[in-house]
Amino acid sequence: MKTQHIPRKRFGQHFLVDQNILNKIVNVFTPKEGQYIVEIGPGTGALTEKLLDKITTLTAVELDKDLIDHLQAKFGQNETRSFEVIESDILKFDFSSLFKTRVQNQKLRIIGNLPYNISTPLIFYLLEHIDIIEDMVFMLQKEVAMRLSAVPGNKHYGRLTIMSGIDFHCEPLFEVPPTAFNPPPKVDSTVIRMWPRDDHFQINCRESLSKIVTAAFSQRRKTIKNSLKHLVTDKQFKMASIDTSQRAENLRVEDFIALSNISSITN
């Protein structure tokens, strides 16, 4: 039997190869027949294969043409399942196109071993599609996972925590060592689950909120009064019941929303 050629690594990928970890990811994701599941960055198809052992319909989004050819050759020609791989930069991919034309109001379940160099901008991009997402299970660099799930007072608590926490819950599930990849990365990884919040915050202006949060954490060693002195007045701090001697990392999501809402009304 001819051995299938595995494409070379082109975009800094670290391919997950540990079978136990792959099985564990699929088990926590619990894919079910009839769900619309999208895999981001399937690579050589290690996780894809595990998913297709559980379901018969899967859509994957991949940028690397060599990998796309490999995936289509490996999974595309099968009468018992429907596998589609879309060539696209995931940071430009229109998730709503799936929602509108293919699943008819069924929300998306998204899974993937995210490229570490784009994981943070990708999380922000996915926040824009919250209305069509049921949940997401991702492999991330451990540091990014810690930032997503941090609480006030923690050194990892910051802009990503706040802006993702407005819309999504985040739960770290388990850690993955570098030895689970080929080639091994220089950092540890964490598998997380994210799902939309049921308790929606009232936000008057997201642009204003983002501006305040970005300014607060760009100078996180300063007090909140000093880091936001050009955006928030003393009166507005008082109206939001914010202790101005605190640093940004000590404020809750609700505190930043209160500041943003008040400043957008009173400015």
Can you point out the beta strands (E) in the chain?
Answer: 15-16, 36-40, 57-62, 82-87, 108-113, 133-141, 168-176, 181-182, 189-196
Nearest-angstrom CA–CA distance, 203 and 209: 8
pLDDT of residue 161: 96
Q: Mind listing the pLDDT tens digit of every residue in the chain (267 residues)?
A: 333 444 444 545 789 999 999 999 999 999 999 899 999 999 999 999 999 999 999 999 999 999 999 999 999 878 888 999 999 999 999 998 886 655 566 899 999 999 888 999 999 999 999 999 999 999 999 999 999 999 999 999 999 999 999 999 999 999 999 999 999 999 999 999 999 999 889 999 999 999 999 999 998 899 999 999 999 999 999 999 999 999 999 999 999 999 999 987 765
Nearest-5° Cα angle at 129, 86 to 210 = 130
User: In terms of domains, do 43 and 171 share one?
Assistant: yes
The whole-number pLDDT of residue 119 equals 93
**Which domain range does residue 251 map to?**
206-266
Domain CATH code at residue 252:
1.10.8.100
Predicted pLDDT at 6: 46
Category of 89 on φ-ψ map: left (φ > 0), alpha (ψ -120 to 50) or beta: beta
Residue 24 lies in a domain: yes
Placement of tokens 């990708």 in the chain: 122
Residues 172 and 252 in one domain: no
Neighbours of 43 (CB within 10 A): 26
pLDDT at 220: 87
Specify the CATH number for the domain of residue 137. 3.40.50.150
Contacts of 187 (CB under 8 A, 6+ apart): 116, 141, 142, 143, 178
Amino acid code (one letter) for 138: F
Strands 108-113 and 36-40: parallel
Specify the pLDDT at position 4: 40
Residue 2: its pLDDT value, please?
36
Residue 6 in domain: no
- Do both 94 and 192 map to the same domain? yes
What is the pTM for the complete model shown? 0.90
